[in-house]
Each structure stands twice: as C-alpha cells, then as structure tokens.
A and B are shown apart, each in its own frame.
Chain A
Amino acid sequence: MKSYFDSLVLGAVIAIGWVTSAQAALPIQQLDSYKGAKAYLVQTQSLPMLDIEISIDAGSRYDPTAKAGLASLTGELLNKGISSSKSNLTEAQIADQIADLGADINVGVTGERALIRIRCLSRPDIRDRAVQLARLMLSSPSYDPVVLNREKQRISAGLLEAETKPDFVLDRRFRKAVYGDYPLGNFLTVQSISGLSASDLKQFHQQFYRSDRVIVSMVGDVSQLEAQEIMQTLVRDLPQTGPTIPPLPQLARSPVENLSEREISIPFDSQQAHIAMGMTAVARNNPDYFPLMVGNYALGGGGFVSRLMNEVREQRGLAYSVFSYFAPGQETGIFQAGLQTKNDQASMALDVMTETISQFIAKGPNQSELDAAKANLINGFPLRIDNNRKLLDNVSSIVWNGLPLNTLDTWTEQVNAVTREQIEAAFQKYLAMDRMKIVVLGAKQ
C-alpha cells in the first residue's frame, strides 16, 4: 500500500547513491539562465519521451525549529490544488489531467530540496500541457485548509504506524544522534504537524519558491530551443527573489566521546535487532570524494563482494542485509553502516561490524580489494548512464552539487587514479571509531 513515507524513502535513496555521471557522447548542455533559474539539458532522441526535474532549494533543512514538517507539507501539497488569477484546479482535476496526458508528475521533499519530476511523451501538445500544469503547481498552489487537514491526518497516521516499525525507529534515533540540533535532526512529529496552518505553508512557499532557487534538469527528445522555452515557462510565474534567507548553521563534526555517550540502546520487542553505526562525513564536492567512494565499495558498498558482506553474511550467516554508505549532498552528509540480525546475535554482529570498520579505517583496503573496486566501477560505468532515468539522476546530482559539467567525462579517470594511501588517509581524515554513534534496537538478552 502506498504510504506517505514512500516519498521520504525515495528522497533518501536519491541522496544515498554515489551517483554521478553523463558521457562525452551525451554532453550536458547548460541553457541560458532566466530570472536567476538555471537549466541543463541532455538530448536523447531515440525515444519520444521527456524527463524533467525541477529542484527547488526548499528542503526540510529550512524548517523552523517549532515547525518541523513545514517544508515537506509545502512541497507535498503542490499537486493538491491550484489557485491563480487565470485558473483554479482542484486536486481531483489536477490528477485527472495528469492521467489524461499519460504523464507522471510527482512531487517530493528531501532534506536539501523540494522536487517536481515530470515524465511525459515528447509530442509537443502533450509535453506543453504537462509543463503548463507543472508551472501552475510550482507557482500557484492553493493550500486549501481542508486538504491540508486531511493530509495532516494521513501523515500523523503514517507516523504512528512507522513508530511501530523497527527500521523507522532506528533510523530516526540514529539521525537524531548524528545531526543533534542541526535542522536535519529536527523531525516532523504528530505534534509539530498539528500546529501547521495553511498560512504557514503559503508563507514558506512565498519565501523559498523563487526562481533564483530553482534548477531545471531535462533529459529526452527535445531541442535546445524547446528546452529553453520549457524552463522559462516553468518559472515564469515565480517571484525572482525575496527577503534574505538566513544562512544555515554548520553541521558540527561528530565529537570524540566515550562509548557510553555514543551508544544508544532502544528496547524493542521485534524478532530482529537492528543496528546502525555512523557519523558526519563529507559533502559531494569534497576533493576526497573519489577515495571515499572507491574505498566504501570495498568496505560495504559493493553488493555481494564487500568486506562487511563477507564477514557478516558469507563467513558467519549473521544477516541478510549489511551495508555501508556515504550520503554526500550539497552539504555535509553522513556515513552509515547497518545490519539486522536475530536478537541473540546482536552483540556478536555489532562486534564483527565494529572490528571490520575499525580495521578498514586503520589500514584501508588491500591491493586486491582496490583492484576489484576499480574494476567494477570502471567496467560498470556504462551501466550508470544507459537510460534517460539514470541520466537525469546524474545531471541532477551534478548540477545540484555544483560539480563540473564534465564530471562524467572524467569519472573513470578519477576512479582509476585513486591509491590505497589516498583511501586510507581519507577514511582516517573523516571517520574515527571514537566518534561513531551506535544505535542498537532490539530485545534485551
């Protein structure tokens, strides 16, 4: 069944991937900026379709302390009613029109940004209608109090449901531990949602949904000229600028602490214990990105062949899923490792995970692990860019994170240049066992 949290999860997944890339044969074209908005295009002509992503710098990180959930609701309600001087559309009419076009127009909000994603046929009459709808959704949401109340009820119900699930409870507690007072540690709750009003949403929309905070990425069967028009149409009705938005605080590095201060135990009567370990790490534009990414492939990112997978699953049969990842964004992201195992194996599994990560930070990968990581990443590079959807993810990551537009052209070279020493140095620079937060959820043995 669909639930509100699906969209949050989707957002997290977008952020998690070490996605980068495009290729020399499919260059990213930078279009002329318009009203401060930026736009980028990769033309692919083999299928009569078009994917568009509109990123608005209006993610949950801007939630006021007492109004957690404001950014999410402001974004989630973009497709639930339009009220402009020229058109009024109910949520039902919007949904019917999208369906009549055979299009997808999805909205969602992550920690950093609000997103509208459009997939439609590239036939101009269809495409233009989809773009017009998205323009109205972006600039003129009605924020009907009746709809808002209903969505608040649904989100609250979803939250209460999620709080009975081990993975959700673990994830929230872990993120709270890592982010502390930083805005991304300030989660929406039943209480914070209940205080939000339609005028709060309107005000947030007015403040953050401005053309100078928008980036449009497009992939598909459209000319540069048409793409330029699409982008201008999308942002035409947005204000170009507005009152100054106060800068975000810096995310402080996870401090050195005694184990008792860093480790949190959550009693939970599930069959499995869930374990998370991690700390603050790096932003995507960090110069050590490639050593960290290649290193993490060897540690816990490389599917069935990582060191964590080998130690935890292959050697000991302790877990079905075990992983580690960096989640770098425009801002500093986190490093996280995790697994689930039956309750009476929790402390053993935690020991194995701790020892494996600790060893890796201390000594990095061995030469054969490095060779294997490079072989997979370089040989597998074409799989990162072999369809429109993947290309859009890549373009989006590159432009949102302010990376060079030729990032994909140099990607395999940069992977190939990584040395064992660089990985060891980078892991030691950013990660440290005496800074790792550890959360163990499960029944006490």
Chain B
Amino acid sequence: MRQSFQLLFFGFMLTSQLALGASTQSIKDTHEYLLSNGLKLIIKEDHRAPTVAHMVWYRAGSIDEFNGRTGVAHVLEHMMFKGTEKVKAGEFSRLVAAEGGRENAFTSRDYTAFFQQVEKSKLSKVMQLEADRMVNLNFDDADFAKEIQVVMEERRLRTEDNPDSLLNESLMATALMSSPYRHPIIGWMNDLVNMQASDARQWYQQWYAPNNATVIITGDVDPDQTYQLVEKYYGGIRAHALPVRKPQLEPEQKGVKQVHVKAPADSAQLVMAWKVPRLQPDNINNDEPYALELLAAVLDGYDNARLNRTLVKQARLADNVDAQYDMISRGPALFIVGVDLAKGKTIAQAEAGIRQALAEVANNGVLDSELKRIQTRLLANQVYKRDSIFGQAMEIGGFEMAGFSWQDLDTVQERMQTITPAQVQAVAKKYLIDSTLTIAILDPQTRQSAKAGVQQ
C-alpha cells in the first residue's frame, strides 16, 4: 500500500543518515590500557550523569570447566563475597552498600563478571575492594558449606522446577557431544552435591589473575585519573600462568538428533537447533554470521516478523515463537527456533510449520523492505544503548571476553548494514539443514497438585 512505500524510502534515508553519525562515536571517548601485570583496562567516558559502572571480567566461565566439577565457575562467583584477609565474610556487600552502590555478579558460559554502580566519588572505594578480592580471597569451609546449599536452591528455583530450563539443558547436552557448552552454567545437581571447598579454591587460584581479567569502567570519569587509580589498586597484583585451554572442538554432526523431556507443564514445546558458524576474531569480515543474525531478526525480530505472523497469527500452530542466534561467543553457536504449541496442534504440525517458514526464506529469499526494517532498528539501537552506561559496559565486556576488541563494535555494526537479502537467503539454505539439526520436545505432564491450589 501507499503508506508502506513511503516508509520504505523513509527507512532508507534513516539508514544512511544514521550510519554516518554512528561510526567513530565509540572511538573517541573510549580508552584502552594494558598494565604490566597483563590486566586490560577499558574506560568509556559518558558525562551525562555523575555515576560510574565499574566491572571486572574474568575470562573463566563454564566453558573452562571439566566433568565432575561443572558449576564451579558459578560457585566461585558466589564465594567471592565470602571474605578476604582484610574484609570479613559478608563485609564486601555491606561496604559497597554503605557507599550507595548497587552490585552483583554473573557467570556465563564464557566468563565471570563482578560489578558495582556508584556515584563517581565512590569509585576509588569500590575499586579497592574489588582489587582486594582478585588476589586475597580467603573463605572458610563453613561458609562454603552454607553457600553451596544456596546454589543448590538456585538450581532448584531456576532449573529443577522450570520446564523451559530443563528442556534447554537437554537440548544443549544432546546437540553437543564434546564441547563444554553442553553442561549447564549452574552445573549438574550431582556435581554441586559433591563439590568441595577445595574445588572452588583451586578454580580461584587457577583463573583469577590480572592477566586473565579485563576491568571496564564507564561513566563520568577522567580517563587519566582513573587509569592512575586502577594502576594503584590492581597494578601490584602479580600475574601467573593460566591453565592451558584445549580447543575441545565439537566433532561434526552426521544426522538429526532428538530428545524428549517430560516435565510438569501445560503446553508442548518444540525446539529446533542447528549448528552454525560464529564470528571469529581473526575473520571479522566473514559475512555469514552477520547474515545469520539478520535471519534470526527476520524470523523473530519484531511483532510482525515471519514466525509470529505465520505460525501464531495465521496458521495458529503456536502461541509463542522464538528465534535466537548469537554470533559472539567463545564456544559453538546454535541457531535456535522454538515454539509453544497451540492447543490441539501436534509436534508434527508445528515442525512442518517451522520448516515451511524456513524453506520460504531458503527458496524465495527475504524482501528488501524486511531487511531494511531490521537494519533500521539496529541503527536506532545504537542511539538507545547509549542511555545506559551499564549496558555499554556490558556490551564491551561480552565482546572482549569472546576475543574481540571494543574497537570492533563499530565495524560489526557497519558490516551489519551491508548484508543483502541474497546473503540472508544463502545462509538459511546452507546451514539450516538436517545433518546438523537437534530437535528437543517438551512433553507436558499434568501436575496433579496444581488444580487444587488454583481453584480455591
């Protein structure tokens, strides 16, 4: 119709104008330093408000764990709040809170990170605390014994009683044979039950070192003064050799795999996951990962994207849809499409519906207007993301941990704008194929107790 024709043109204008403004933005206000002990420091100035985000990222996540000790990266993250020689157990959080700080920590497959957000004059205080626990962690066995119980409660909450998590756990463990990505970040329950304080201490001694860490500071700071501060608190910590990281490359998959999970739920779920390439730091100009990112967005990037439009709104096969792909990671990438089945529909119907939607892209391609819409959105996001200094620190950290540089951020965004409909079609055709496919099915089980509770 007429309106959308206007918008097409409009979108094109938006794209070209913003693209000019977006690049070089992060170059001029971001500063990188390397301390003599190997610690990398990245400072991004943002003077909109008198606050600072201070993060330390350790390149040690569940990908670095071994069988029998799964979950140890995350357990150590918890233990990092349990005291050093100078700071008693629990004091860390009290001291940060007293400065008005907000703090937390998180563990992923690729890294473990710790952060505080504070008013800028408090930066020195929280940095001193964070640097202290990089080298002086000292928790006792009794604290470990309590905290491992907390972690098991966390697993019960997030996974054992959560069918989505159970399904995802089985999907990863089925799709991957040798990569440590097949283990859940929180660890298998039996590994948690058998984990010892010494396992956590060993993890700390192996991986927590300035030469395995990146400090990221965003906000209202002076870069030179902040560098001096980092030198003062982190500069004296000694580097040490890190364990050898074996590649543990996933062997080639030779056919469809399938896993069924029975769990208390009402709707069936179907998830299809294909092994696809990720972006490699030494080949940042490979167009395929970018095309896969855009393919995921064409399928599920906005309310009228293909899967929602065809499977939820038109065919009524599904009540919810999802397409995911992340090209930035240390381990193997999966392109994942999942649906919650609508009432009365079968797994076979849902699978046929997904396959049809994907075949449509592979055979007939995507529209210029569709792709332009996604690219416009990505450009607008470049402005929106600057509203949050914490979000900017997160973005830099995720990039750095996967082996990229913050300096690649703009390049990646620019590259995303150059991808064509033909390239999106080509990756759909090349990679969404049965030989690398894993299918996971949630087979819902009635929870007898549920009805009684609800109806009172």
Contacts and interface: CB of A to CB of B under 8 A. Distances in A.
A367 interface: no
B161 A270 contact: yes
A381 B100 contact: yes
A1 B340 contact: yes
A383 B118 contact: yes
Contact of A382 (B93, B119, B304): B119
A376 interface: yes
Interface stretch (A41-49, A61-69, A110-118, A229-237): A41-49
Contact of A49 (B7, B101, B379, B383): B383
A93 B147 CA distance: 52
Given A92-B304, A160-B266, A379-B99, A47 B7 contact: no
Given A49-B383, A154-B312, A382-B51, A271 B342 contact: no
Contacts of A180: none
A153 B450 CA distance: 21
Interface stretch (A135-143, A317-325, A351-359): A317-325
B320 interface: yes
Given A150-B316, A304-B93, A372-B98, A387 B122 contact: no
Contacts of B448: 269
Given A268-B449, A342-B156, A102 B146 contact: no
A164 interface: yes
A372 B97 contact: yes
A303 B102 contact: yes
Contact of B122 (A97, A264, A342, A379): A379
A1 B152 CA distance: 25
A157 B340 contact: yes
A205 interface: no
B389 A271 contact: no
B49 A385 contact: yes
Given A1-B322, A305-B94, A382 B50 contact: yes
A251 interface: no
Contacts of A166: 161
B450 A314 contact: no
B3 interface: yes
Interface string A219-232: 00000000000000
B322 A2 contact: yes
Contacts of B100: 375-383
Interface in A152-175: 153-154, 157-158, 160-161, 163-166, 169, 172-173
B117 A383 contact: yes
Contact of B379 (A102, A160, A164): A102
Contact of B146 (A267, A305, A316, A377): A316
Contacts of B148: 317
Interface string A400-416: 00000000000000000
Contacts of A387: 48-49, 387-389
B348 interface: no
B153 A320 contact: yes
B329 interface: no
A342 B451 contact: no
Interface residues of A, number: 83
A237 B341 CA distance: 39
Nearest to B338: A1
B453 interface: yes
A380 B101 contact: yes
Interface in A378-399: 378-383, 385-389
A95 B302 contact: yes
B223 to A, nearest CB: 19
Interface in B271-312: 301-304, 309, 312
A341 interface: yes
B122 A121 contact: no
Taking chain B's interface residues, is the majority helix, strand, or loop, or is none over half, making it mixed? helix
Interface size class of B (residues with CB under 8 A): 35 or more
B387 A47 contact: yes
Nearest to A90: B304
A412 B28 CA distance: 36
A321 B157 contact: yes
Nearest to A387: B387
Most buried by A among B51, B312, B338: B51
Contacts of A154: 312, 319-320
B365 interface: no
B387 A164 contact: no
Contact of B377 (A102, A172, A386): A102
A98 interface: yes
B48 A320 contact: no
A33 B163 CA distance: 50
Nearest to B102: A383
Interface string B382-394: 0110111100000
Contacts of A441: 453
Contact of A340 (B153, B321, B453): B153
Contacts of B103: 303-304
B343 A96 contact: no
Contacts of A314: 90, 146
A131 interface: no
Contacts of B161: 165-166, 270-272
Given A303-B102, A376-B97, A269 B264 contact: yes
B79 to A, nearest CB: 13
A31 interface: no
B300 to A, nearest CB: 9
Nearest to B15: A102
B440 to A, nearest CB: 13
B258 interface: no
B55 to A, nearest CB: 15
Contacts of B157: 272, 320-321, 340
B149 interface: yes
B452 A102 contact: no
A119 B18 CA distance: 17
A303 B153 contact: no
A386 B98 contact: no
Given A95-B302, A380-B101, A271 B156 contact: yes
A338 to B, nearest CB: 12
Interface in A1-24: 1-3
Contacts of A160: 266-267
B454 A169 contact: yes
Contacts of B119: 379-383
A99 B150 contact: no
Contacts of A375: 97-100
A49 B384 contact: yes
Nearest to B309: A92
Contact of A95 (B164, B303, B322): B303
Contacts of B153: 272, 317-320, 340-342
Contacts of B145: 317
Interface string B75-114: 0000001000000001001100111111100000000000
Contact of A99 (B117, B264, B373, B444): B373
29 contacts: A1-B340, A44-B48, A47-B383, A47-B386, A91-B304, A92-B309, A97-B4, A99-B304, A99-B377, A100-B4, A119-B384, A121-B383, A150-B316, A153-B342, A153-B343, A163-B454, A173-B454, A266-B449, A266-B452, A303-B103, A317-B146, A375-B97, A375-B100, A376-B98, A380-B118, A383-B51, A386-B49, A389-B387, A389-B388
* Pairs A-B, 6 closest by C-beta atoms: A379-B100, A102-B380, A380-B100, A95-B304, A317-B146, A386-B49
Given A160-B267, A172-B454, A272-B157, 18 more contacts: A1-B269, A1-B340, A3-B320, A100-B4, A100-B10, A153-B343, A157-B319, A165-B161, A267-B452, A270-B161, A271-B161, A305-B90, A317-B148, A320-B154, A379-B99, A382-B49, A382-B50, A386-B389
